[in-house]
């Protein structure tokens, strides 16, 4: 079992992709594959038997919450959901005190919220592994699922070309930038000037790309960014907590919608389309209807035909959240003495 090589991950938190080396990320993806096979074969993998895991959510979630919950149960642990308003967190009790208390009671903590500083304080004081289920600037567990999905569909990751199109400053853009640069991929962020990545994150990505043999490109020009890519990735134009910027984002990001013309411009007839979800691709949501009524758009970051096309692997990505989150929790907190 690959996990023997991952002893170095034991006891560690995962707040950003900066935390793990290239080898550790690749081993986690391999381990997730093995766990996926075990689940499909009905083989038990209860590496967290008897543990209690706290799942803290200050923002809503479908996939991350479901994946952490199901992963806990499959691994033999009890998941406890602590939602916004359920606990004193940051209101009547400091993040630091809450972290100390939760760490005395739980064996591991997942956190989804706003400021990244909050999860850093949690990790510094909890004395148990803390896993980032999304903050304003990072969404690292999503990228583990994306890597597994790309591998499953087109083999190896190194040297593969991935373009992220859209809000280049958000948590997905920064996480893909770091993760892909670390793995020696060719990562392109295609975004309008005001939404291009933060200088510090870009400098870090360039540094690690130099070490890994990867390549980083940031541009506002769609044609040069998408040319020859293996993967087109996009995310919502307005992330959680930024809802008041909707109109400004629509104006900036309309030319960056993923549609057939963009897929054609890649010149790759097998190009994959990825999206972390949820996505605005039709009028079947409340937000979709409001955007249509106010701005006349029937689709936002991706057209409905691309979303449902054979290029799209978005639901594989969603399922792979389960297997990769399971690998992460097991590798950092599991007991493998039973084999």
Does residue 328 sit in helix, strand or coil?
A: helix
Phi and psi of 194, rounded to 5°?
A: -65, -15
Q: Near ligand CP by CB under 6 A, which window of 58-66, 221-229, 262-270, 288-296?
A: 58-66
Residue 66 vs 100, nearer CB to ligand CP: 66
234 makes contact, choosing from ligand NVA, ligand CP, none, with CB < 5 to 8 Å by partner type, with none
Distances (CA, A) of 173 to 2, 31, 74, 184, 318: 29, 25, 31, 16, 18
Binding to ligand CP by CB under 6 A, coded x per residue (else -) over 226-265, reads ----------------------------------------
For residue 71, the SS3 value is helix
Q: Which does 171 bind (CB under 5 to 8 A by kind): ligand NVA, ligand CP, none?
A: ligand NVA
- Quickly list DSSP for 5-33: GGGGGTT--BSSGGGS-HHHHHHHHHHHH
Alpha-carbon distance of 159 to 22, in angstroms, equals: 14
Asked if 61 is part of the footprint of ligand CP (rule: CB under 6 A), the reply reads: yes
Give the residue numbers annotated as catalytic, written as ranges: 112, 139, 142, 235, 276, 321
Q: Terminal CA-to-CA distance of the chain, rounded, Å?
A: 8
Q: Which does 239 bind (CB under 5 to 8 A by kind): ligand NVA, ligand CP, none?
A: ligand NVA
Q: Which does 110 bind (CB under 5 to 8 A by kind): ligand NVA, ligand CP, none?
A: none
Is the Cβ–Cβ distance between 129 and 333 less than 8 Å?
yes
Instruction: Take residue 330 and report the two structure tokens written for it.
Output: 């097991």
Is residue 134 at the binding interface for ligand CP, with CB under 6 A as the rule? yes
- Under the criterion CB under 6 A, does residue 240 sit at the interface with ligand NVA? yes
Please tell me whether residue 172 binds ligand NVA under the rule CB under 6 A: yes
> Is residue 63 at the binding interface for ligand CP, with CB under 6 A as the rule?
yes
Query: Which residues lie across from 58 on neighbouring strands?
Result: none
Could you list the residues that contact ligand NVA (CB under 6 A)? 134, 139, 170-172, 235-236, 239-240, 276
């Amino acid at each position: 079992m690959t996990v023997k090589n991952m002893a170095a991950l034991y006891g560690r938190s995962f707040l950003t992709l900066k935390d793990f080396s290239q080898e550790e990320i690749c081993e986690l993806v391999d381990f997730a594959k093995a766990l996926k096979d075990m689940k499909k074969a009905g083989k038990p993998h209860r590496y967290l038997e008897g543990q209690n895991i706290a799942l803290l959510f200050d923002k809503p979630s479908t996939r991350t919450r479901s994946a952490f919950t199901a992963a806990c149960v499959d691994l033999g642990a009890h998941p406890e959901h602590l939602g916004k308003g359920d606990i004193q967190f940051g209101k009547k009790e400091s993040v630091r005190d809450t972290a100390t208390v939760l760490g005395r009671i739980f064996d591991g903590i997942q956190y989804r919220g706003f400021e990244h500083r909050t999860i850093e304080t949690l990790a510094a004081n909890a004395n148990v592994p803390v896993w980032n289920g999304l903050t304003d600037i990072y969404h690292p567990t999503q990228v583990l699922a994306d890597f597994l999905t790309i591998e499953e569909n087109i083999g190896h990751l190194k040297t593969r070309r991935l373009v992220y199109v859209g809000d280049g400053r958000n948590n997905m853009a920064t996480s893909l930038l770091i993760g892909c640069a670390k793995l020696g991929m060719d990562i392109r962020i295609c975004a309008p000037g005001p939404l291009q990545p933060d200088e510090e994150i870009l400098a870090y990505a360039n540094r690690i790309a130099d070490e890994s043999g990867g390549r980083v490109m940031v541009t506002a020009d769609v044609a040069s960014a998408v040319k020859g890519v293996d993967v087109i990735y996009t995310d919502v134009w307005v992330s959680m907590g930024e809802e008041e910027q909707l109109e400004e984002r629509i104006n900036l990001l309309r030319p960056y919608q993923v549609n057939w013309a963009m897929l054609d411009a890649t010149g790759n007839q097998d190009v994959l389309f990825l999206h972390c979800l949820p996505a605005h691709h039709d009028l079947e949501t409340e937000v979709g209807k409001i955007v249509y009524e106010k701005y006349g758009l029937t689709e936002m970051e991706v057209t409905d035909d691309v979303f449902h096309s054979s290029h799209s692997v978005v639901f594989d990505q969603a399922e792979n959240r389960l297997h990769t989150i399971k690998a992460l929790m097991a590798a950092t907190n599991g007991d493998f003495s039973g084999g």
